[in-house]
Amino acid sequence: MPVFETKALFDAISYTASAVKTLKSIDDRVKLNEAIYSVQESLLSAQQMALDSQQEMTAIVEAKGALEKEIASLRTFEAEKARYAMHETEAGGITYLVKEDARNGEPSHHICAACYQKSVKSVLQLKGLNLFCGQCGSSSEYHPRSGGFIV
Ligand SMILES: [Zn+2]
């Protein structure tokens, strides 16, 4: 619920509370019924505003959780970026290749340059004569060395 609607909710509650206090002093039956109806309408309006506020708060909490998760993912990728260096394949394709001293027991591999720019790590897979990204669908040309190792 935007802040201006929060004020409307408090105004409706305040109006209802003061209207209830005046009910005892109304002697005329018709006027009393009108006042009771007005109070009921005000209560229903306040109830709807409270429900809208609750739904908005739930959406905000969910959005906050998603943003926290995204921030954690970006921080993880920032640390991961240091393990890779931009690489041009023999065919002129651009990838990011894991540095020899940062392989941590992993085989030599390339990650997608397009995904890298979006802070997403996507290991490229050999598909025909290209390195293919399963994340974004892009491919980079390469030529295998004599031993079949991807450069
Ligand atoms: Zn990609």
| pLDDT one-digit tens code per residue, 51-99 | 998 999 999 999 999 999 999 988 999 999 999 999 998 888 899 999 9
Q: Is residue 53 part of a domain?
A: yes
Q: Using alpha carbons, list the distances in angstroms from residue 2 to 46, 52, 54, 59.
A: 15, 10, 11, 12
Considering the domain architecture, whether residues 69 and 124 belong to the same structural domain is answered as no
What is the pLDDT, as a whole number, of residue 11?
A: 87
- Position 28 in a domain: yes
In the structure, what pLDDT confidence band is assigned to residue 1 with cuts at 50, 70 and 90?
very low
* CA 113 to ligand 1 centroid distance, Å: 7
What span, in angstroms and rounded, lies between the C-alpha atoms of 21 and 11?
A: 16
Task: Tell me how many domains the chain contains.
Answer: 2
User: Ligand 1 centre from 126 Cα, in Å?
Assistant: 13
Distance 105 CA to ligand 1 centre (A): 23
74 and 123 share one domain: no
Check pLDDT > 70 for residue 145.
Answer: no
Q: Residue 47 falls within a domain, yes or no?
A: yes
From 79, 102, 119, the end of a domain falls on 79
Q: What range does the domain containing 115 cover?
A: 82-141
Regarding whether 109 and 47 lie in a shared domain, the answer is no
Ligand 1 center from residue 38 Cα (angstroms): 61
Mean of all residue pLDDT scores within the chain: 88
Alpha carbons 122 and 115: distance in angstroms, whole number = 7
Residue 149 lies in a domain: no
CA of residue 122 to ligand 1 center, whole Å: 6
